[in-house]
């Protein structure tokens, strides 16, 4: 056997041994401490608490990269592994972040560089420290096998740790914590959300809290259930970024928005409301349900559509803006040369299908809304679908496949079966002229650019549908303000 072939064979043998030890390492309970050191480094140490006696735990993995977000990689240094007696274990590195020890691992320590990553959008999805502020996300700080346990933080003098309760976490990898100096803490009145804001903005913390209150109550009324205490972290990008850029993630019960401000105050307020409508929705779906798998087309696409509809309902945008957003989504979706189903697009979301998931997912939400309103003469809407899915699968319900559960719920309504078969499980080009006409809406541009508008003459049925979509909201608002 040649030397390269022998090395390759040894690598595969090591990989097989590594994989063989993984089942014993999944879902481990831990105790861990994270100490922020000089510069942007974090020293992490901890131990496994699994009983009975530790056995067959030779594999050790750390999330050093995120394949779905290019540029999201960071080095791990000074790794040490220990056995149950505290003796250091010899180990070998298989690939970045994966190690195989010669004995069973009981404890560990290492150092992670938390300098902001080159990909600026990674700041909403991974840990970072810049100056005297930072956001720590346990998922990329702790061993992959860690699940439940305790987590303690040690920070420099003058810094604070804004953690809800890390004394006993049922899913420790979902912990997200703001640290540092200069954070403003505000509680939204009447809803269980704490705001942590850092940086200079055209809006005040009280204005942001009022938005959270309004939007959180709207979502709570929709789902008819509350969610537990949550944190909202808002920070500027850790690196210089031009106006208008932002990235967000809702992980567990923490919403993280990393953003640059807009040029003008009115734009800043409008965009913050848009961000909050979408991200707070995720506290209920998908984070509040026990659905698994890649059903991103639903929880992202329908979140976009519901956020848009809520904006009309709260008089944040005009109905013309509502139609304009749907027009742009349809133009984007129609321009795609290679069509795949939304099921497939969700699986390949971070490999080039992200726009399709958002654009067509939102359009499917709209078509479902139109069909439900039309068939029920205004008595049902997409809100009923969202509520039913949340109630049926609200944690701690038994886990279920997301695609299977959502499609089954949609197909309970016969009028939604064609929508599902054409655009969710199928990959047909969206042909919605009939559905639009039934709602009193038409495409005013015969070219490749979609331009939706309300028809000049409307039937009583069309007026009912438009009213349920929010067409008359501005008129009601104007009358009530007189």
DSSP 239-275: S---TT-EEEEEETTEEEEEEPPPSSHHHHHHHHHHH
Instruction: Tell me if 174 is assigned to some domain.
Output: no
Task: Report the C-alpha gap between 280 and 255 in whole angstroms.
Answer: 7
Task: Report the C-alpha gap between 368 and 421 in whole angstroms.
Answer: 12
pLDDT in tens, the chain (482 residues): 454 444 444 344 344 344 444 434 456 788 999 999 888 899 999 999 865 445 568 899 888 765 444 445 677 899 999 999 999 999 999 988 899 999 999 999 999 999 998 888 999 999 999 999 999 999 989 998 888 888 899 999 999 999 876 555 668 888 999 999 999 999 999 999 999 999 999 999 999 999 999 999 999 999 999 998 999 999 999 988 888 899 999 999 999 999 999 999 999 999 999 999 999 999 999 999 999 999 999 999 999 999 999 999 999 999 999 999 999 999 998 887 778 889 988 887 666 567 788 999 999 999 999 999 999 999 999 999 999 999 999 999 999 999 999 999 999 999 999 999 999 999 999 889 999 999 999 998 777 899 999 999 999 999 999 999 999 887 655 445 44
pTM for the complete prediction? 0.89
Instruction: Tell me if 86 is assigned to some domain.
Output: no
Peptide linkage before 396 cis (omega within 30 of 0): yes
**DSSP 8-state code for residue 66:** -
Instruction: Tell me if 452 is assigned to some domain.
Output: yes
pLDDT reported for residue 357: 87
Contact present, 41 and 73 (Cβ < 8 Å): no
pLDDT reported for residue 82: 95
Task: Report the C-alpha gap between 44 and 60 in whole angstroms.
Answer: 14
Instruction: Tell me if 442 is assigned to some domain.
Output: yes
Distances (CA, A) of 89 to 18, 81, 99, 318: 16, 5, 11, 64
Instruction: Tell me if 166 is assigned to some domain.
Output: no
pLDDT reported for residue 374: 94
Contact present, 378 and 366 (Cβ < 8 Å): no
Instruction: Tell me if 248 is assigned to some domain.
Output: no
Nearest to 439 by CA among 474, 465, 473: 465
pLDDT reported for residue 5: 46
Instruction: Tell me if 237 is assigned to some domain.
Output: no
pLDDT reported for residue 55: 55
Task: Report the C-alpha gap between 161 and 151 in whole angstroms.
Answer: 12
Q: How many domains does the chain have?
A: 1
Q: Could you tell me which residues come within 8 angstroms of residue 408 by beta carbon, excluding any fewer than 6 positions away?
A: none
Range of the domain at 383: 291-481
Instruction: Tell me if 423 is assigned to some domain.
Output: yes
Helix (H) / strand (E) element for 30: namely strand 28-36
Contact present, 70 and 119 (Cβ < 8 Å): yes
Rg, Å, the chain Cα set: 25
pLDDT reported for residue 336: 72
């Amino acid at each position: 056997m040649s030397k390269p072939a022998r090395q390759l064979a040894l690598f595969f043998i090591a990989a097989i041994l590594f994989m063989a030890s993984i089942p014993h390492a999944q879902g481990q309970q831990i105790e861990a401490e994270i100490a922020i050191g000089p510069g942007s480094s974090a020293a992490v140490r901890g131990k496994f608490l699994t009983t009975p006696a530790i056995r067959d735990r030779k594999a050790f993995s750390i999330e050093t990269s995120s394949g779905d977000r290019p540029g999201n990689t960071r080095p791990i240094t000074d790794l040490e592994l220990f056995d149950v007696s505290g003796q250091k274990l010899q180990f070998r590195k298989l690939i970045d972040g994966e190690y195989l020890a010669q004995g069973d691992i009981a404890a560990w320590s290492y150092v992670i560089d938390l300098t902001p990553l080159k990909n600026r959008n990674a700041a909403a999805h991974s840990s970072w420290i810049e100056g005297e502020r930072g956001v720590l996300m346990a998922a990329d700080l702790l061993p992959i096998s860690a699940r439940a346990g305790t987590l303690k933080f040690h920070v420099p003098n003058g810094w604070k740790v804004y953690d809800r309760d890390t004394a006993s976490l049922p899913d420790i990898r979902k912990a997200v914590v703001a640290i540092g100096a200069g954070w403003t803490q505000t509680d939204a009145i009447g809803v269980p959300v704490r705001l942590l804001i850092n940086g200079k903005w055209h809006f005040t913390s009280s204005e942001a809290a009022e938005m959270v209150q309004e939007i959180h109550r709207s979502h709570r009324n929709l789902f008819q259930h509350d969610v537990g205490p949550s944190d909202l972290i808002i920070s500027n990008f850790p690196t210089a970024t031009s106006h208008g850029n932002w990235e967000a993630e809702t992980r567990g019960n923490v919403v993280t928005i990393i953003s640059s401000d807009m040029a003008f105050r009115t734009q800043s307020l409008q965009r913050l409301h848009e961000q909050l409508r979408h991200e707070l929705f995720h506290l209920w779906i998908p984070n509040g349900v026990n659905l698994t798998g890649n059903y991103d087309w639903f929880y992202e696409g329908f979140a976009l559509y519901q956020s848009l509809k809520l904006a009309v309902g709260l008089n944040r945008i005009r109905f013309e803006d509502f139609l304009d957003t749907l027009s742009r989504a349809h133009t984007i979706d129609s321009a795609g040369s290679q069509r795949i189903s939304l099921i497939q697009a969700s699986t390949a979301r971070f490999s080039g299908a992200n726009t399709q998931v958002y654009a067509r997912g939102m359009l499917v939400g709209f078509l479902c809304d139109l069909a439900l309103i039309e068939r029920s003469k205004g008595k049902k809407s997409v809100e009923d679908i969202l509520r039913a899915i949340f109630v049926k699968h609200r944690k701690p319900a038994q886990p279920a496949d997301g695609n299977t559960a959502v499609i089954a719920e949609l197909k309970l309504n016969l009028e939604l079966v064609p929508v599902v078969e054409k655009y969710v499980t199928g990959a047909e080009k969206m042909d919605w002229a009939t559905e639009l006409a039934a709602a009193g809406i038409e495409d005013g541009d015969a070219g490749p650019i979609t331009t939706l508008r309300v028809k000049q003459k409307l039937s009583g049925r069309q007026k009912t549908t438009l009213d349920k979509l929010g067409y008359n909201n501005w008129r009601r608002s104007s009358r009530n303000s007189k």
